[in-house]
Amino acid sequence: MTPATRPVTALSGVGPALAARLAKLGVETVSDLLFLLPNRYEDRTRVVPIGALRPGARVAVEGEIQLAEIVFRRRRTLLARLSDGTGFLTLRFFHFSGAQQQQLARGVRLRCFGEVRRGPVGLEIVHPEYRLADAPDRQAVLDALTPVYPTTEGIQQGRLRLLTAQALAALVQEDEPDLLPPEAARELACSGLREALQFLHRPPPHASLELLESGRHPAQRRLAFEELLAHQLSLRALRNEIRRDPGWPIAAPGLLGARLLETVGFPLTAAQRRVNAEIESDLAAPHPMMRLVQGDVGSGKTIVAALASLAAIEAGYQAALMAPTELLAEQHAQNFTRWLAPLAIEPLLLTGRLGGRARQATLAAVASGTRPLVIGTHALFQEDVNFARLALVIVDEQHRFGVHQRLRLRDKGAGRYPHQLIMTATPIPRTLAMTAYADLDVSVIDELPPGRTPVQTVVMPDSRRDAIVARIRAACLEGRQVYWVCPLIEESEVLEAQAAEDTATALAAALPEIAVGLVHGRMAATAKERTMARFKAGELGLLVATTVIEVGVDVPNASLMVIENAERMGLAQLHQLRGRVGRGTQASSCLLLYHPPMSAAAKERLAVLRRTSDGFEVARRDLELRGPGELLGTRQTGLMQLKVADLMRDADLLPRVQAMADVMQDAHAANIAPLKRRWIGASTRYGKV
């Protein structure tokens, strides 16, 4: 039995209860335990003289207990005074047993480890890890750097170290197979799998902590390469599987699309025409389209989605557009209704708040196929929603939906699988997109419509509020409109952030001649919709809102946006918010207000926005500053849940990973399935979303 097939219960000390806890960490086999790598390391191989200790250091010390006592102040506490001849250190225990109290007696010699801090009477360590200095170390790690593992409730670090020691011993006896092709090992100039695992679980004392903590040690890079390769191969396999699924071939003559372009009053950009042609080609195929359309804020993704919908409708099928919020679904419904009215096509809107007879009538129209275009939120995939001939699913802001949500909508294709058009206004760098979305074809709308003016971005402290209010008054009196965005709905004692409700009240008092509206996520949907309609109609000059307006809201007359506490928001979110202005012909501005002092990271984020309005450049910097998790939506989608690799840190490996995937498929196909099992397990359906 190999480590990959041996259950973790085969290890000494692992019963059903501990196995259940280990399963929460993804550990079910001995092999899983080997690939549960440390988050960080501690150097306990060198004992530091107590006299040389500094607050904040995590160190190993050794000395003799000079005094042990229980004190009663605010809480019962056990104190032990440790000395090694160079100084004194207090060991402080708030939770202790009678056995510990007896063990920590005067004259006992201890080896301790913990974080040094300043105490009432000098330096101290609170709840140190310790053992008798003359007792053998059962964890056998003092001849190596000490690993600190990811853990869960009920599993202590000491237990994980003992278990990994057993797993490493099993690795020596029954080798975990090395699944990388020899050419990969030569190219990476790395050691074999067994050596890499042994090193990373028990690094020798001379190993560079700095290199290990940066994740760039050759042993880590070797495993990162293997993990990225497993994901690449898995997504490619899913792509091939999707291409075998039956789809709805859509080969419409394009008459409805041509009529739409005649009525909307603006021509498509070259980028829109290119992407539209790619979509038309995909729709004509007998297998489902899986296409991701990237486009910066305002690049015109929605009209491309409308053209795809009309192709499905003209061929006699249904199309569904799913948006992440009711506000955005309503916005899409309004746009599509306006565009398609001359074509005698009326979209249906289906959201969670639709009820009673109206919901029943809507469901009947969807089930009969008499209404070929349905726009909605997650309500679209509820069990009682049935489509007659659903041939196209459009998912807007795809990273806001979970895997199972999109799967359930895909499964409503009535015997065949609908084409999927996935849209995002969060640009993803090309190499990263090729890796994270290897199961998708990627189109990029990399051109803004003519007439769009760049938005001037200014960063200023919130102490200049009076000058900003005067600027708002001037803009509104000139007939233009303004957004004021706040990150919170109510005052918080924790965050020094201006709440939207208080801000709206204060601005209405300061600007009595201007109509002020308020929109936030806790408002009733009807009230929110009514306020947005008034703002869009020009009845409100100033709209105070939370980030509920981040995506999709389109008011061309709005030319000024003020974002409160911008230092607390991420780059992608700020760029999305900024995209709500500059949608008309007049010069537009975005004022990023901050409350000093700002952190260095916040200063860098705001500086990026001041320097560029290019969404791809913003995304690149966002990736550098925050990593890919939120950019790709992996917390929700389950895509690329990486154990060792980091898509930003290891970006230089991605081209070689893609090339090696070709080599694996051509010459080492037998290794692909075990490689995917090692790193991904049974999560194989996530690419069909």
Cα 432-436-440 angle, rounded to 5 deg:
110
DSSP E strands in 43-191: the ranges are 58-72, 76-83, 88-93, 109-119, 122-126, 129-132, 146-148
* Closest C-alpha to 152, from 32, 41, 34, 18: 18
3-state DSSP assignment of residue 27: coil
Residue 412: CB atoms within 10 A of its CB come to 18
Instruction: Fill in the DSSP letter of residue 327.
Output: H
pLDDT digits (tens, 9 = 90+) for 330-375: 888 988 999 999 999 999 999 887 888 889 999 999 999 999 999 9
pLDDT digits (tens, 9 = 90+) for 176-214: 788 888 888 777 777 788 899 999 999 998 898 889 988
Residue type at 206? H
> Cα–chain-centroid distance for residue 418?
27
Q: Which pLDDT value is given to residue 687? A: 45
Kindly report, residue by residue over 642-688, the tens digit of the pLDDT.
788 887 788 888 888 988 999 999 999 999 999 988 888 755 444 45
Which is more confident, 294 or 615?
Answer: 294
**Strands 122-126, 88-93: parallel, antiparallel or unpaired by DSSP?**
parallel
Helix (H, G, I), strand (E, B) or coil at 123: strand
Calculate mean pLDDT across residues 609-636.
68
Q: How far apart are the C-alpha atoms of 34 and 555, rounded to whole Å?
A: 55
Q: Which domains does the chain have, with CATH numbers?
A: 8-41+148-214 (no CATH), 45-140 (2.40.50.140), 255-445 (3.40.50.300), 455-612 (3.40.50.300)
* Residue 147 pLDDT exceeds 80: yes
pLDDT band at 224 (very low <50, low <70, confident <90, very high): very high
The share of the chain scoring above pLDDT 70, in percent, equals 88
What's the angle, vertex CA 329, arms to CA 384 and CA 350, rounded to 5?
25
Q: Are 472 and 540 in contact (CB under 8 A)?
A: no
**Once rounded to an integer, what is the mean pLDDT over residues 55-63?**
92
Q: For residue 132, give both structure tokens.
A: 């008798």
Task: Give the residue carrying structure tokens 């993803």.
Answer: 428
The pLDDT score that the predictor gives to residue 20 is 92
Spatial separation of the C-alpha atoms in residues 300 and 306, rounded to whole Å = 10
Contact 531, 543 (CB under 8 A): yes
Mean pLDDT, the chain, whole residue set: 85
Residue 507's closest CA among 556, 550, 460, 560? 560
Say what the pLDDT of residue 177 is.
82
Which positions ≥6 away from 411 have C-beta within 8 Å?
none
Q: Is residue 480 a contact partner of residue 588, using CB atoms and an 8 Å limit?
A: no
Q: Angle at CA 104, nearest 5°, toward 99 and 108?
A: 130
pLDDT per residue as tens digits for the range 235-256: 888 778 877 888 899 988 999 9
Instruction: Give the confidence band of 430 by pLDDT, cuts at 50, 70, 90.
Output: low
Please say whether the beta carbons of 42 and 58 come within 8 A.
yes
Task: Note whether 61 and 24 are within 8 A (CB).
Answer: no
Token pair of 475 as six digits: 């803009």
The Cα 242–Cα 686 span in angstroms is 11
- Please state the separation of Cα 349 from the chain's center in Å: 29
Q: How confident is the model at residue 61 (pLDDT cuts 50, 70, 90)?
A: very high
Confidence of residue 90 (pLDDT cuts 50, 70, 90): very high
pLDDT recorded at residue 626: 63
Quick: pLDDT tens for 465-516.
999 999 999 999 999 999 999 876 555 544 445 578 889 999 999 999 999 9
Enter the pTM of the model.
0.68
Average pLDDT of the residues in 100-110 = 92
In the predicted model, what is the mean pLDDT of residues 574-599? Answer: 88
CA separation for the pair 561, 542 (Å, rounded): 10
Contact 296, 368 (CB under 8 A): no
